[in-house]
A and B are shown apart, each in its own frame.
Chain A
Amino acid sequence: MSDGAPRIELAGASKRYQIGATEVTALDSVDLVVPDSAFIVILGPSGSGKTTLLNLIGALDTPTSGRVAVNGVDLTGASQSERARFRRASVTFIFQTFNLFPALTAVENVQFGADAARREDAERRAAEALDQVGLGERLRHFPHQLSGGEQQRVAIARALATGNPILLADEPTGELDFRTGVQILRVLQAQADAGMTVLVVTHNREISRIADRVIELSSGRIVSDGAPAGGRADIGDVQW
């Protein structure tokens, strides 16, 4: 990342889809700057454009217009292979449905993250990451032998094992019960505190209470952007 450049910068970024004769605007001229590490929640109802925003930042998609630069890389006109290289080096993902590899054990799944990012000593990193999320005893378990919460923690460990500075989580607690969801949020918050930029997409307003910054979207536009109302709450105070 070049010195002084923000971690994430979107300028007038729009994303429009053509569905038959109808043009759908998923994101409409979004301007956003994330200077450094933070725990950011992107909030909004279904169809508000929050996942599209996450996809643009994660270089899984390209804007129809406007500019997207992440970690010092201008993704606006990047080719598919340039975007893949960027994803390997700069961002990592956590998905609502975990998307673990069912044939690999927990440690192998996490090792995959390190391997994908071409980190040295991937197996050691994987073991450490699993330890970090409290699964140091379940290295050799397959996904089907783990609970939903454990599977999501493996997914977080996989993201951490990449060592990339930006973590993008799409509804990471959507499949989980409250108690497990809180555990996951605690782990994510800890990563932001440790220097990562963590963006969590959710429709759950309660989660936004523990964020450093809340970006609210509606109909593809940012309708509010700032610290949560009433200040950042303690994670023990949230409930849904």
Chain B
Amino acid sequence: MTRSLWLRWSWRDLRGHWVAVVAIALVIAIGTGVFAGLGSTATWRRQSNDISFGATGIHDLRAELSPGTFVDEGLLTEAVEGLPDAAAVTGVVERLVVDNQVDASTPDETILVRARIVGMPFGDSQLVDDVWLRDGSEPVAGTDPPSVILEAKFADFYDLPERGRLTVSGGRSVDYVGLGAGPEDFFVTGPEGSLFAQGDFAILYSPLADAQSLIGRPGQVNDVVLTLAGGSDRDRIEEQLRAALAEVPGVSATVTDQDDVEAFRVLYEDIESDQQVWNMISALILFAAALAAFNLVSRIVESQRREIGIGMALGVPRLRLAIRPLLVGAQIGVVGTIAGIAVGLLVGAAMKSLFESLLPLPEWRTPFQFGPFARAAALGLVIPLAAAALPVWRAVRVQPIQAIRLGHLVARGNRLTDWTNRVRLPGSSLTHMPFRNVLRNPRRTLLTAAGVGAAITALVAVLGMLDSFSRSIDRGAAEVTKGDPDRVLVALDTFYPTDSAAVEAIAAEESVGSVDLGLLFGGAAVVSADVSEPIFLIVELVDLDRAAWTPTIVDGSPGGDGLILATKAADDLGVSLGDTVQLFHPVRGDDGVFRGARSALTVDAIHPNPIRNFAFADLSLAERFGLQGAVNLVNAYPAEGFGRGDVQRALFERPEVASTQAVARLSEIFDEALEQFVGFLLIAAGSVLALALLIAFNSTRITVEERRREHATMRAFGLPVRTIMAVVTKESVLVGICATAIGLVAGALILEWMLRSLAESSLPDFGITSYLAPSTLVIALLIGVVAVALAPLFLVRRVRRMDIPDTLRVME
């Protein structure tokens, strides 16, 4: 036989099966497209980070003077220029960086948040940590009121326009004339390194002189950043800088390098952990597509088995007989690969758009990634070819007569059908039929269920991530907002005596109904310095007997002289009630200076906040920290007729108040931040949904094709089409139930694994327990059972328009 005959024959096969070829190719396309699209993001992010950090000249070294310390402009530059390796320094910039508060309220919303003013040079002279101007124009020094650039994510969070007026502490107005971000703020973290800070923290980039004027430090700076020539020894220069600054009289400085920049670390480190999540999701989707393709392609090729047998009987070489069915696989592979590239580009475009809105960088590079697409294309070609090869191999291994035999002569049962034969099913033969059909070929049923099940697995895992995060955040929010959600946390700028005028003035504000005084300080807990990693703790001392808000206790009994730890902190430290932890903490001496100390504290109780950093103790423990009679945290409750906004606005003007924060807003910020991540997961969920529906449709279509003689017989006996479709639908429901069960169990297991291995490495401070919301279970059921059950409805026309006599006479 000539090659052209095979090609013509194959072309006719394609025309006969084109719906099947396209539909299965789409399954392959979704699997490989998602694989390629999600696989491209790591390189995009790395390239975009490199270019963006490079373009803004992120510093190699930074020296910050200790809080409250300022020096005259030029002094820090002099120190840098005097370094032994000063020749390696390519850029040096002095800055004034101070924490502040800002009132960005709009007519619709009160926005009173913590802020940071970064005074720095603007224009061509800025070589280090330059501000990327996204919208608007650069500020001009010396205007009245002063002009600044507002950090863009904060503006986006509150939908602020690209120009506007703000008020900073002391009631000074500033005009922001543009939106942008410095490289240290490409990912915004709060003053204590808190994530999701963009709605809670405003950064103002101001010309240095204006910043000095705003905070009353004319001619002074407290920060220096420098870049180094490539190949220079950063560690050595860092040491030199530290030593040089130690020589400056009255100066105590902390020197850090590029790797300590939170945004730099998070944006690079997240690439790997995010990619692991994408890899897992895309692998699941690809696995589902591969399973489905194997099942569907092999079922198509199986229908050519008789023709293979005839060819064998006529003496056609087996290899040549394999060409036609393999060409079916190749056609699916080619169409699937081409469509997969399109799907990959679509997924990539959606991811790019999300990245650009979630992580605004000066430049987003999203070039076509040949590697992931080539791997996806190879898989797209290999999967259907392998799926076609398997039944061909099975067909050519048997004697020709076995391959030629009609279906009713070769039909075989299995142990399951024989076993179920003993089970008397109730109802009519039409009731029995779906069960019997499902059990007749358990391998095929399982393969179909596994294909849909794998898609549901991916969906459950993806949605379960969201559910688990949401639930943990809700748990945390419920904990902090319990009692009075209008509670306002007022952080003081230093420690004040409890009976000081400053504290009394806060309590005396008209909008403040009552206050609870407390203490807040940082510490680090370990079980034993030798064996465990320290956990950073924010320890709040609260009057456990009298305060209006106290932490919920889920285990133990507080009130002793021990700590109340979060469940996650206790788990991570490996301690339980009654155990002792070593707390490294500051102690105020008689001279008022804080020094480091270590105390052994008993774990008295456990609280349910999912953030492990929150620890509590009774206020009576203040003496242990040298803080008896002192306060730096006030819980303020609004008076009758006043809201949290009134309290915040009233306290904004007070000089001793460092920041105010409504606890309800805290949970809203978490919720809003989470909503942004939903977009990423929705891309995966959408792909999975399309895949599950396609698998269900294809599977049902092939089932209807395989059962066409049975359906023709049923119609010959006068059964209405709706009765036949009811039988097909019931069969689909059974497969759907199996698929949903597989998807839910496997999804829950994978969710658990992802949360344990990935979330713990990316978000070690956040205690997330796996949770599947009822809505996720409903979606899984809707896709796994309802959508799969409805797939036969697309095939009603085919059964209705069937040529009954022709179909009944078909000899297979």
Contact = CB atoms under 8 A, between A and B. Distances in A.
B805 A61 contact: yes
Contact of A97 (B406, B422, B433, B436): B406
B709 A99 contact: yes
Interface string A162-182: 100000001000000000000
Contacts of A143: 408, 411
A55 B805 CA distance: 7
B417 interface: yes
Contact of B710 (A60, A96, A99, A170): A99
Given A111-B428, A112-B430, A142-B421, A51 B408 contact: no
A145 B29 CA distance: 42
B408 A145 contact: no
A55 B715 CA distance: 13
B718 A103 contact: no
A151 interface: yes
B808 A95 contact: yes
B409 to A, nearest CB: 7
A90 B719 CA distance: 13
Interface in A58-105: 58, 60-61, 80-81, 84-89, 92-93, 95-105
A186 interface: no
A51 B421 contact: no
B718 A89 contact: yes
Nearest to A111: B429
B719 A116 contact: yes
B437 interface: yes
Interface string A112-126: 110111000010000
B421 A105 contact: yes
B717 A93 contact: yes
Contacts of A85: 718
B100 to A, nearest CB: 76
Contacts of B437: 103
Contacts of B428: 111, 115, 122
B686 interface: no
Interface in B360-408: 406-408
Given A60-B805, A95-B809, A144-B413, 9 more contacts: A84-B719, A101-B429, A101-B710, A109-B429, A113-B717, A115-B429, A116-B718, A142-B421, A144-B411
Contact of A116 (B407, B421, B714): B714
Contacts of B805: 51, 55, 60-61
A148 interface: yes
Interface string B426-454: 00111011001101100000000000000
Contacts of A28: none
Contacts of B432: 104, 108
Interface centre among A100, A101, A117 (most CB of B within 10 A): A101
B720 A84 contact: yes
A140 interface: yes
A103 B417 contact: yes
B732 to A, nearest CB: 15
Nearest to B807: A99
A182 B764 CA distance: 82
B769 interface: no
Given A142-B413, A142-B421, A103 B433 contact: yes
Contact of B716 (A58, A97, A101, A105): A58
Contacts of B709: 99
A88 B808 contact: no
Interface string B785-812: 0000000000000001000110011010
A140 B421 contact: yes
5 contacts: A61-B805, A85-B718, A88-B717, A103-B440, A113-B717
A115 B713 contact: no
B412 interface: yes
A121 to B, nearest CB: 11
Contacts of A105: 421
B741 to A, nearest CB: 22
A170 B712 CA distance: 15
- 8 nearest A-B residue pairs (beta carbon): A88-B718, A87-B718, A103-B436, A112-B429, A116-B717, A103-B440, A144-B411, A111-B429
B436 A99 contact: no
A56 to B, nearest CB: 10
A206 B432 CA distance: 40
Given A108-B436, A115-B430, A101 B417 contact: no
A89 to B, nearest CB: 7
B713 A87 contact: no
Interface residues of A, number: 44
A86 to B, nearest CB: 7
A162 to B, nearest CB: 7
A97 B811 contact: yes
Given A111-B429, A122-B428, A122-B429, A97 B408 contact: yes
A108 B809 CA distance: 23
A67 B228 CA distance: 100
A9 to B, nearest CB: 20
Contacts of A95: 713, 808-809
Residue of A86, A122, A142 most packed against chain B (CB within 10 A): A142
A144 B716 contact: no
Contacts of A162: 717
A87 B723 CA distance: 15
B408 A96 contact: no
Contact of A104 (B433, B712, B719, B720): B433
A142 B440 CA distance: 10
B408 A151 contact: yes
A98 to B, nearest CB: 6
Residue of B408, B409, B417, B717 with highest tally of chain A CB at under 10 A = B717
B433 A84 contact: no
B421 A100 contact: no
Contacts of B430: 112, 115
Nearest to B714: A116
A85 B718 CA distance: 6
B440 A102 contact: yes
Contact of B718 (A55, A61, A84, A170): A84
A102 B408 contact: yes
Contacts of A81: 720
A101 B724 CA distance: 13
A141 B390 CA distance: 31
Contact of A101 (B412, B433, B804): B433
A84 B429 contact: no
A199 to B, nearest CB: 14
Nearest to B421: A140
B720 A98 contact: no
Contacts of A115: 428-430
Contacts of B422: 140
B429 A104 contact: yes
Given A103-B437, A140-B421, A60 B409 contact: no
Contacts of A89: 718
Contacts of B439: 103
A108 B413 contact: no
A213 to B, nearest CB: 23
Contacts of A103: 417, 433, 436-437, 439-440
B411 A84 contact: no
Nearest to A140: B421
Contacts of A111: 428-429
Contacts of A117: 717-718
Given A60-B716, A104-B436, A122-B428, A99 B417 contact: no
A44 B434 CA distance: 40
Interface string B298-332: 00000000000000000000000000000000000
Contacts of A96: 809
Contacts of B808: 93, 95, 97, 99, 170
Contact of A93 (B411, B716, B720): B716
Contacts of A102: 407-408, 411, 440
B458 to A, nearest CB: 32
Nearest to A108: B429
A140 B440 CA distance: 15
